[in-house]
Amino acid sequence: MGRCVYCGDQRGFWSKTCGDCRRLLARVQELRGRVGYGEFLDGLAGTGVSKEKIMGFLKADPDGKGSIQDQVTAEMASELMKVMGLKGGQTPQEVKRIRGMIGKESK
């Protein structure tokens, strides 16, 4: 048995993810682009997965495209910019860079 690419827990033989992370991925796809960040987190909590595991899942970046948290934040920021009539958009990498800068300033 291998380890889940998101949380590191044991997974099935043929799968890259454990059952909890599969549930979270499905819920992310359902909620993406439809709700605000608070409702998004509430929707993930509604899966019954522990808060610690949800936080680890959100921070994971198994594909190198940015963490789930950064991807969702970038999508929400881009949508907000579009609604406000601003050109451009955010990428998960830019969100990660900004989050890192803010983290450095708060120390």
Q: How confident is the model at residue 107 (pLDDT cuts 50, 70, 90)?
A: low
Domain extent for 105:
63-107
Burial pattern 12-47, b for ≥16 Cβ within 10 A else e, equals eeeeebbebbbbbeebbeebeeeeeeeebbebbeee
Residue given tokens 């992370």 in the structure block:
21
pLDDT tens per residue, range 40-86: 999 999 999 999 999 999 999 988 888 999 999 999 988 888 889 98
pTM of the model: 0.80
Whether residue 67 sits in one domain with residue 53:
no
Verify that 52 and 78 share a domain, yes or no.
Answer: no
Phi, psi of 43, rounded to the nearest 5 degrees = -65, -40
- Res. 105 pLDDT band, cuts 50 70 90: low
Total of domains in the chain = 2
Residue 67 and residue 55 share a domain: no
Mean pLDDT is lowest, of 29-33, 89-93, 102-106, for: 102-106
